[in-house]
Structure 1
């Protein structure tokens, strides 16, 4: 197999049905790509209570000098209605200059390109002026419990340290080369239960409809902006994603209502401070402005996501300039440095070394007919190879 060809690499990975939590053969395919290049490949299975076991891979080439890590995931989201695909989701078929398949851009394409870039660098230069590693996991698209966070812990305990990391997530909105992610907002989800009194809809004076209180609390969370954003981050944003009672009857006032929300917060907040702000808003709304009139305070309780994502911003000039310079040298334009979007496994890697994200155009990720332009695969490989050259040169200065 010619691993310098990103198209061949991606086809091999797409053909592995690695829908979370299944490994699907993807890590085996990656092992076959990396081992001939001289990488020492280790595979491990991580476990935790009430979660599926996850297979992960760590591969390293070189034993000294500056250490650059490439991180990513081979797991993919389900295909949905397979009949709606114009090309089978695990066939890697090519049509009109594009390769179709689940994971083409999120993010088997990025992995395929970095393997090709590493192979081209080694073919051209021989020995690395340092160390290069791949940290590839299998549950990024799910709960991220037994993937990156545990593999990082495992390798750190084994003595591994890293100087910088590139995550190959699809960061570009419209065209390749326009955006590098240098940080991410924090994220917390919450589940509010509002308590009422069940009763007949025709006799509301004998009941207490919890939906009235649920609406009050939801409005209190969304009405007033949390902030106006900062120089590096957009404004904090909270969205109520569900209000539900589980009540199938039309003439029964329910006993309780549940409100679900998610907040993405910038660097004006910590996980603890944004939680406190939310509780302050809820307590105030519970005591005042009841939609029903004179009623006791709204009775509620709140539960939080077990592992919130913390806001972070990478300030490593050599890492950022090496990547931005590589992008500009290949596509002719300087990329924007951004902190927009959701979370990624970079939120775990930031605790071990500076991390940035750059990959393919993400317009079709998670969609029916996910696909990538073949030209973009070649361009991204060239960017990655140039980045490897620049980073090792900069890391030695």
Structure 2
């Protein structure tokens, strides 16, 4: 069994459901400390974070990952126990195999190999790991970055190991991510008897015309880097459970995924204007989990990762800003270039999550090649 496969299996065996780390970072830090890294454990609340560095000064190239995983769902639905790594048909199965203990294992092995071969490399190579990526993400990388900014710690370039590939390692990289703006909308009505609608105000009826306009709205046309902004309602709740009572309130959860064409404040204002135009008595609580970011064409890291993926596959990788959010959204505001490259994402968060063993065993060499090209 290869070093990266063995480490990935050891990490999968630890049931580190968010925000628990279950000793993953202790295992990683012991290995990296033995390789000459300086390891700093940063625990905030129930969340474990690890910052491991080798070298000094700039540029600082950091690999970013997480040891936490999502819940397994019904374990009986899995072909093999989710926290017992299993090899079948050239794939490694287990919760976190693709998202993202496989990538974390590859990062560790790549960093060990790189500093062993280049002990006096220029600049700094680093690993940042959290146990709070799949959860609310308040005490993970976000909190670490706040600490770094206060201390003057820098990150110039960041490779995120999130599973990015479509069918094979290196066929797609993410060079940015859309922002995510969520709102909890409270529509106020007046409860009453369904037989006397004149004595009540149905918030469902009041909201429906506004919802139709919100759903049909063209928020922007996107640009060459980002698709058009999307608006979705993820939940609507109203009613008392009785069929003869007009409810007094409606609560809707809404979300925008937006690029650099639109600003969060403008989207909020447009929603308020539509509600006002339809006479909806409502209030909205907004939260932004991350602003859009982009590593532009010509950025050093983007060029290096493209070259490394081309060398790996013999083909140009697709460069995308699609998908959801990642912890890269916290690193980019530091002024860092951020690129995401990792294994195939087809099974992430699913029953029988898995990763190709062939891709996993090539991943350390891809990460090593990125380091070599960055410091060449």
Instruction: State TM-score, norm by structure 2.
Output: 0.95
Range that drifts further, 269-278 or 137-146: 269-278
Counterpart CA distance in 2 for 1:247 and 1:26 is 46
Matched, 1:364 2:347: yes
Aligned to 2:7: 9
Name the residue aligned to 2:292. Answer: 311
1:113 aligns with 106
Secondary structure class of the residue paired with 1:365: coil
Deviation at 1:171, TM superposition (A): 1.1
| Structure 1 gaps, min length 5 | 48-52, 287-296
Q: Is the 8 A contact 2:299 2:337 kept in 1?
A: no
| Residue aligning to 1:266 | 259
SS in 1 for 2:11: helix
- Check whether the contact 1:271–1:308 (CA below 8 A) recurs between aligned residues: no
Map Cα deviations across residues 46-93 of structure 1 (whole Å, 9 max, x no partner): 13xxxxx21111100112342210111111111110111111111112
Pick which of 116-125 and 14-23 moved more: 116-125
Partner of 2:302: 320
1:234-383 equivalent positions in 2, closer than 5 A: 234-284=227-277, 286=278, 297-305=279-287, 307-315=288-296, 317-352=299-334, 353-383=336-366
**What aligned pairs does 1:1-397 form with structure 2 within 5 A after superposition?**
5-47=3-45, 53-284=46-277, 286=278, 297-305=279-287, 307-315=288-296, 317-352=299-334, 353-393=336-376
Q: 1-side partners of 2:245 and 2:168: how far apart?
A: 53
What SS is found at the alignment partner of 1:202?
Answer: coil
Distance in 1 between the 2:57 and 2:221 partners? 45
Hey, what's the Cα distance between the residues in 1 that align with 2:111 and 2:319?
24
SS at match of 1:135: strand
Cα offset, 1:314, TM superposition: 1.1
CA distance in structure 2 between the aligned counterparts of 1:127 and 1:102, rounded to whole angstroms: 37
Give yes or no for contact 1:310–1:347 (8 Å, CA) kept in 2.
yes
* CA shift in 2, pair 1:270/1:81, >3 Å: same
Q: Structure 1 residues 255 and 122 mapped into 2: Cα distance closer, same or farther (>3 Å)?
A: same
For the 8 Å contact 2:56–2:122, the answer to whether it is kept is no
Give SS of 1:351's match: helix
3-state secondary structure, aligned to 2:125: strand
Aligned-residue Cα RMSD (Å) equals: 1.6
Partners of 1:17 and 1:25 within 8 A in 2: no
Asked if 1 retains the 8 angstrom alpha-carbon contact of 2:239 and 2:245, the reply is no
**Conserved 8 A contact 2:186-2:250:** yes
Question: What secondary structure does 1:8 align onto?
Answer: helix
